[in-house]
Chains A and B, each alone.
Chain A
Amino acid sequence: MTVVTMYRAPHRRNRRTPLASAGLHLALLTAAAVAVFPPLWLLVTSFKPRDDAFSTELVTHFTLANYTHVLADTEFLTWFKNSVLIVGVTTVLGVFIAATTGYAVSRFRFPGMRPLMWLLLITQMFPVAVLIVPLYNLMASLGLLNQPAGLIVTYLTIAVPFCAWMMKGFFDTIPVEIDESGRVDGLNPFGTFWRLVLPLARPGLAVTGFYTFVTAWAEVAYASAFMTGEENLTLAGGLQTFVNQYTNDWGSMTAAAVIIAVPAALVFSFAQRHLVSGLTAGTTKG
């Protein structure tokens, strides 16, 4: 719509008619409202007394009762600790091996490279449904059920293929001359990678880290299949037991949901500056 209006002033691209400007802001405001409303409403609801959870008003009786209930009377903090441990380790390991793989695929032409690219793409197609039963059996025979390590390894396979792809694209945008200067200075490829290229790839690493974190933090199917017993659950699995136990206690659930969303939002706020540049490199060159 705005584009059409701009047609009238083709030589003043940076200036818009007031009407075009209004249309632009209106469209963006509407979209922003749709994007923000659900999380915002969740936040608002969590501060209402339990019985008011569905009232359409904003908070009339502000209370933290939902939060204190969730934190004090349930296993929530244990689940939170489990999640932080599992997701933290997954993110660190995932970023690291995605970076080494991406670097290798970007810089070296080696036998097995093309099949590897395919593998990274195809891995993303494997439906949970085919893998989950055999994987469950595999974890059982390795003694990794109910162990953080089991979930960490599983999450790596979900996040790393896409991240490695993204990192490859990112490394492609870093001039090869930098590697060559490293070689001239007597660094081996690992040294070049670690000391010269990796620091330049920080935006890419931020995006990869964000993606890995969010993917692992939000995973439900494996988490609820592999972890049993209250004390081993992660947040995703834990919230499911909430849904079953407190069918009508929407108040507690909203409070729990807000607490779960906060770390993800924090990681997001660190990474968001880099999202556009990091992701673009990955998807254009992928």
Chain B
Amino acid sequence: MTLAQRVRRTFGTHWYAWTMVAPVVLVIGVIIGYPLVRGLFLSFTDANEANVERTIGVNHIPATYEFTGLDNYRAVLSDGLFWDRLGWTVLWTVSCVAATFLIGLALANLLNRTLRGRTFYRLALILPWAIPAFISVFTWRMLYNEKNGILNKLLSGGGIDAVPWLNDPTWAKLSVIAVNVWLGVPFMLVALLGGLQSIPGELYEAAEMDGAGPWQRFRNITVPGLRAVSGTVILLSTIWTFNMFPVIFLLTRGGPGDATEILVTYAYRLSFVDSPRDFSRSAAWGVLILVLLSLVAAGYRRSLRKQGEVW
């Protein structure tokens, strides 16, 4: 093969690849890229409802907001509110991801064996995934209803006082976490079940021959075998939970007070709920969320590197 041919062939290969990824890059570039840059820009200004470019009737009012540098960030970071919300968001993310993962792992282990009714169990356990989240959240609101919900009626049947599921700050926190775990387990279960099935059965047999007990087998075969899947699903689930808008917004609207408000719902509240709408402050919150998550992802990549995986 001559050099010219090789160059042409390389170019040809890349040309195909580039064509295939072009739609995604294009769509992401326009729909995420532009708003992101714009959001970043807004976070350095004092833009709000009253001074952005807008059209009222036939009058076109030009934008009058100004560049304010790091003022928004300074204000947000020196405000106890942000750290408060961050604390709860971290607690929310860690408890949701931990509970979802552990329950998913336990159920996957139970399901990954010959067992009567296996298909039925699998279908039933994955069911929450098949239902749109906003429907499930709506259903849970009905179950949680303090005066008439079935949970409290069942409790009162057992002689227990009504629990203020969504109206007491502490209970509300537990309730939103419970719903999110309920929603998240199927994904974990499916991913981990697949991971378990990809571990060769011979490994277990060999270990049994050597006299390894169930715990040793779990510890030395199952855990390492699941490491790759676990890493990915934990990272994804962390990102998704950290930004889990619908569950909190539809279940409690962040209430009671702001007890269950995580960073994303608060940022949304700043630009869509509170009046006047404060676009710049909201954008600053958003950028900070992004920075925090990027740190998580960078840590994940570093740990992948340590295990010798590359991309």
**A residues neighboring B (CB under 8 Å):** 2-4, 6-7, 10-11, 13-14, 24-25, 27-28, 31-32, 34-36, 38-39, 41-42, 45, 54, 56, 97-98, 100-101, 103-105, 107-108, 110-114, 116-117, 119-135, 137-138, 153-154, 156-157, 160-162, 164, 188-190, 193, 214, 217-218, 220-221, 225, 236, 239, 243, 250, 253-254, 257, 260-261, 264-265, 267-269, 272, 275-277, 279-281, 283-286
Contact = CB atoms under 8 A, between A and B. Distances in A.
Given A257-B138, A284-B228, A135 B35 contact: yes
Indicate the member of B18, B132, B236 with the most A CB atoms within 10 Å. Answer: B132
Contacts of A45: 142
A285 B229 CA distance: 8
Contacts of A11: 208
A129 B30 CA distance: 17
B188 to A, nearest CB: 10
A283 B229 contact: yes
Interface stretch (B66-74, B79-87, B94-102, B290-298): B290-298
A97 B198 contact: no
Contact of B124 (A32, A38, A220): A32
Indicate the member of B20, B150, B214, B249 with the most A CB atoms within 10 Å. Answer: B20
A84 to B, nearest CB: 14
Contacts of A220: 134, 245-246, 249-250
Contacts of B240: 124
Contact of B243 (A112, A125, A267): A125
A219 to B, nearest CB: 8
A66 B214 CA distance: 53
Indicate the member of A104, A129, A161, A253 with the most B CB atoms within 10 Å. Answer: A129
Nearest to A157: B31
B36 A131 contact: yes
Given A137-B38, A239-B134, A125 B297 contact: yes
A154 B16 contact: no
Given A104-B21, A214-B130, A260-B132, A280 B191 contact: yes
Contacts, number: 300
A125 B213 CA distance: 41
Contact of B190 (A104, A253, A264, A279): A279
Contacts of A27: 110
B268 interface: yes
Nearest to B201: A13
Interface string B229-262: 1001100100110010110011000000000000
16 contacts: A7-B213, A7-B214, A25-B115, A39-B131, A54-B149, A101-B23, A104-B18, A105-B21, A131-B39, A135-B31, A137-B38, A138-B31, A160-B28, A214-B130, A239-B134, A280-B229
Minimum-distance CB pairs A-B, first 8: A280-B194, A130-B286, A268-B130, A218-B132, A129-B267, A134-B35, A54-B148, A134-B38
A13 B208 contact: yes
Contact of B290 (A97, A125, A254, A275): A125
A103 B250 CA distance: 37
A218 B133 contact: yes
B126 interface: yes
A122 B297 CA distance: 8
A6 to B, nearest CB: 6
Given A13-B208, A54-B149, A123 B285 contact: no
Contacts of B287: 130
A125 B293 contact: yes
A193 B21 CA distance: 13
A108 B194 contact: no
A97 B25 CA distance: 10
Given A24-B110, A107-B17, A122-B294, 5 more contacts: A126-B290, A134-B39, A221-B246, A268-B126, A283-B194
B102 to A, nearest CB: 13
Nearest to A163: B24
B74 to A, nearest CB: 19
